Amino acid sequence: FPFTTLFRSRDYRGASLVDTVSTYSTGAYEKTVTGLSAGSYSFKAQYDGDDTYQGSTSSSLSVIVQNHTYSLSISSDKQIILTTESVTITGTMLKDSSAYASQSVDLYDGVTKIATLTTDSDGEYEETVSGLSVGVHTFKAVNSNVESSTISITVNEPTHTYSLSIASDKSS
């Protein structure tokens, strides 16, 4: 079928042509619309007709687009630790500047996922990490909507101090 379908979007600004697409041989068509700002939209498909087929316009499909702003922070209680110590990594997830509870957050050390956490009612998460090897470790938090910046933790070997006492047992 050589039908061409016109998609029209109608909102408070009026009608506008979204795209022109061809139908499949079954007469079906599809179109993914991206980049819409928040608001209400109504879509219709229209075929203008030709010498063989009469024109037609579909009923409206209403869509509400809600764009949200997400943020995910990350911090730690220490920037330098010893291999024998732990570090606590914390952060907060926000949706539209409000706490975002019950969200899954993956914590990464470099490219290795080390934990999957869930934000609490205040949008906060926390993980205590221990057993880190010597070197600089770069951590980030990742959610399906947003990724945090990175923080670096330097891990050093403990310094061992030895003392030697010499006592004389010499009696005269």
pLDDT tens digit string along 94-135?
999 999 999 999 999 999 999 999 999 999 999 999 999 999
Cα 159 off chain centre by:
40
Q: By three-state DSSP, how is residue 23 classified?
A: coil
Query: 14 pLDDT exceeds 90?
Result: no
Enter the tokens of residue 53.
Answer: 């087929």
What are the residues facing 65 on neighbouring strands?
39
From CA 78, how far away is CA 27, in angstroms rounded? 63
The answer to whether the predicted template modeling score (pTM) of the entire model surpasses 0.75 is: no
Closest CA to 83 of 163, 154, 12, 10: 154
- 42-46, 117-121, 156-160 — which is least confidently predicted? 42-46
Residue type, 124: E
Q: Is 121 helix (H, G, I), strand (E, B) or coil?
A: coil
How far apart CA 38 and CA 131 sit, in angstroms, is 46
3 state SS for 32-70: CCCCCCCEEEEEEEEECCCCCCCCEECCCEEEEECCCCE
- C-beta neighbour count of 106 within 10 angstroms: 15
Three-state SS for 74? coil
What is the band of 15 on the pLDDT scale with cuts at 50, 70, 90?
Answer: low
C-beta of residue 69 within 8 angstroms of C-beta of residue 97:
yes
Residue type, 93: M
